[in-house]
Each structure stands twice: as structure tokens, then as C-alpha cells.
Amino acid sequence: MMQYRELGNTGLLVSEIGMGCEGFSEDECRNTRRLFDAAEELGINYFDLYTSDPKVRASVGEALKGRREKFYIQSHLCSVWKNGQYKRTRKIAEVKAGMEEMLSLLQTDYIDVGMIHYCDSLQDWKTIEEGPVLQYARELKAAGVIRHIGLSSHNPEAALAAVRSGAIEVLMFSVNPCYDLQPAGEDVEELWNEKNYEAHLVNMDPERQELYEVCQRMGVGVTVMKAFGGGDLLDASLSPAGKALTACQCLHYALTRPGVACVLAGAHSVEQLRESAAYEEASDEERDYAAAFAAFPNISWEGHCMYCSHCAPCPKQIDVASVTKFLNLAKAQETIPETVREHYELLPHHAGECIECGACETRCPFQVPIMENMKKAKEVFGK
């Protein structure tokens, strides 16, 4: 059965598994209706529409007839169709014309999440924030034409600036265990450049981890793209990690990052969409990515808590993964956010109850200094 999560502070309750739009154009766009029929059956209520292709948008409008209220639309401002091809634009006249065309083709008078499309540099974010694009998005929200403002990005530096500005409510970001090791950059192509994985990479890029934690603290909901790395992570011969993961493991990794509400699973067929939705019925063993990560020949997470819960069970029943997650959220701030403190307080057992038996550390696949983390958590939270 599909599980649902709050999308940050938007008030929207969205399916953990969402739907990307990659497969909509196939079979002369007849695939769109098949995928929406399957999504409705599976309980998927959230989808992304980054493409500006009028044929695809029109097919989505037809597929939504009679069931618009069953789906939340995440569609993109600044993604327009010009001279028969896709274009990203910041020219406000083109943005406005594209928005009007989108609403007409989708046969709706509102978009649930209006994504400002593809911002991968600080300069571009400055252009958006200080120019007419963000102002237009705010006008659309005030008029009820878009219900919430979002931004899509592959660059944690640009995304952090947007999140911290308070201007966006939803972030669409590329999340997977390979991209998460790459430092911030303005060229998205570098995320899958094989040369960037030739060295033995160790641990998550700190700016990416900070991004997820800031999103959770500020109530900015994260919707995930590229969870499978365009399919590369599912193929050992293509994966930068040198070892294949299952779709279930990729989904679980993304869904256990702070701030994440929904993974937009790319599907070219109903069968692929069902495979992603099967995550909800998967066993803990099928979801578990820790053993696979620990065996990656090209990548290491030594010393980095992956929130995988292999440390359990604790003889004092401490939820070590949750304590560590709240500790990391607190450490990212000069003062402890009240929401983090409240969530920590609600845990049935706290770090101060640790008896330092060390059983957790013997089970951790990543050699995390758990007992030291429990000491720090006690110092930070007072118990």
C-alpha cells in the first residue's frame, strides 16, 4: 500500500513514489494515459512535468480529464517550446507565454507546484531572485494559479542559496549515492562524467548533506530526480560505483535523506512504474542498501552514518539512526532549531541512556563512532 509524506510545509500529502515524465512521449504519447491509469491504481498522486513539448503536455491534459483532483502537478516555469524545441529561458515574456500555454494544454486553471526550471549556478539564482521571474511566480501564487513555488537544481550551492532565501517551498534535486559524493558544480554533465569517479571517493559531499538538513529544518520539501542515475546505477557495467544496485535500494537511499518527501521515478512503461511502486511492499532486506554500499569497489562511506539502522537492536532501545540524524541537524546550526529539539524529545529513549556496550559499532558496516556520537548528542540535547 502506498505511503504518503508531507511535502515540507506545503500541506500537501504526497505519495513516496511519484512519477517522472520521461515515458509520456513514447508510442506517440499514448503511453501517457497508460502511465496515469497505472499511477491512479497504485496510489501515486504526484508527478513532474519538466518537458515543454506541447504534444506531451496535451497528452497529460487528456489523461487528467475527470481526475485532476487525484493528482498534484509539479510543472515548470521557464521551460518553454521555441522553434520546435525545448528551451530554458529567463526572458519574462517567454516565461509568461509558456505558462499560459501550459495551463491551456493541461486543461487546468492551476498548478500545485510551479517549479522555476533548472537553476545550477549562483549567478542564475541571483538573476531569478532579483529579476522578474521570481516576482512573476509570486504573482501567480497570489492569484492561486500556482499553489506553491519550487525550484529544480543539480547544484547544492545554488539550491542552498534558494532554500535559505525563503523564496521556495519545494526543491527538486538529483539524489543518489553516486551524485552525493560529487562537489558542487555548475555543469550537470560532470555528475555522470566517469573521470570524476576514477579516484576512490570517500563520503558524502558536505554541502549536499547540509542542503538536505537545511531543507528539513526549514520545511522545504524535496522531490527527487535521478534516483537511478538515468538507469546507470542499476547496471554494474555503467554504475560509477562499480557495482549495481536494485531499484528498491536506490529508492530507499533517496527516501532516507533528510527533507525528502517523494521520489519521481522515471518509467518508460507501466511495468517499470509498478517496479518502483513495489518498493512499498518490499522487505527490510530488499530495501537495505548498506551491505551493497560497503562493498562498492570505487566508493567508501567509512565513518559516515547512512541512517541504515544496521546498528540495531540497542539493549537500551535507543533509535541510534534517529538520534544521529537529529545530532547532525543540530550540529549544522549555531543554535538548536526548536523543531529538532522537539523531535528529539519525542524519542522514547535518548542518547544519555547509552551504556557504551559497543554492540552497535560491531554491526555498523561503515565504522561509525556511534558511542562518541551518543556522547555528543547527550551534550547537545541535555539527555
Question: Does residue 147 sit within a domain?
Answer: yes
Q: Domain containing 282 — which CATH number?
A: 3.20.20.100
Residues 212 and 338 in one domain: no
**Is the preceding peptide bond at 313 cis, omega within 30 degrees of 0?**
yes
Listed residues 248, 270, 300: the one ending a domain: 300
> pLDDT of 293-347, one tens digit each?
777 766 666 777 877 778 888 999 999 988 888 887 777 566 676 767 777 888 8
> pLDDT of 77-108, one tens digit each?
999 999 899 999 999 999 999 999 999 999 99
HSE (side-chain half, CA atoms, 13 Å) at 268: 4
**Residue 380, H or E segment:** helix 370-381
Residues 152, 362: Cα–Cα separation, whole Å: 40
pLDDT band at 196 (very low <50, low <70, confident <90, very high): low
Residues 248 and 345 in one domain: no
How many structural domains comprise the chain? 2
Instruction: Look at residue 149 and tell me whether its pLDDT is greater than 60.
Output: yes
Instruction: Look at residue 249 and tell me whether its pLDDT is greater than 80.
Output: yes
Average pLDDT, the chain: 89
> pLDDT of 109-142, one tens digit each?
999 999 999 999 999 999 999 999 999 999 999 9
Question: Does residue 25 sit within a domain?
Answer: yes
| pLDDT of res. 336 | 77
Question: Does residue 315 sit within a domain?
Answer: no
Instruction: Look at residue 198 and tell me whether its pLDDT is greater than 60.
Output: no
Listed residues 238, 265, 300: the one ending a domain: 300
Residues 17, 207: Cα–Cα separation, whole Å: 25
Question: Does residue 59 sit within a domain?
Answer: yes
Residues 215, 46: Cα–Cα separation, whole Å: 19
Residues 182 and 131 in one domain: yes
Using DSSP's 3-state secondary structure scheme, residue 202 falls into strand
Residues 290 and 324 in one domain: no
Question: Does residue 306 sit within a domain?
Answer: no
Question: Does residue 309 sit within a domain?
Answer: no
In total, the chain counts a number of residues equal to: 383
203: domain range? 4-300
By the 10 Å C-beta count (0-12 exposed, 13-18 middle, 19+ buried), 130 is classed as exposed
Q: Which of 150-154, 160-164, 197-201 has the lowest mean pLDDT?
A: 197-201
Question: Does residue 324 sit within a domain?
Answer: yes
Instruction: Look at residue 201 and tell me whether its pLDDT is greater than 60.
Output: no
Residues 6 or more apart whose CB falls under 8 angstroms from that of 237 comprise none
- Contact between 340 and 217 (Cβ < 8 Å): yes
pLDDT band at 200 (very low <50, low <70, confident <90, very high): very low
Residues 107, 205: Cα–Cα separation, whole Å: 42
Residues 332 and 220 in one domain: no
Residues 71 and 202 in one domain: yes
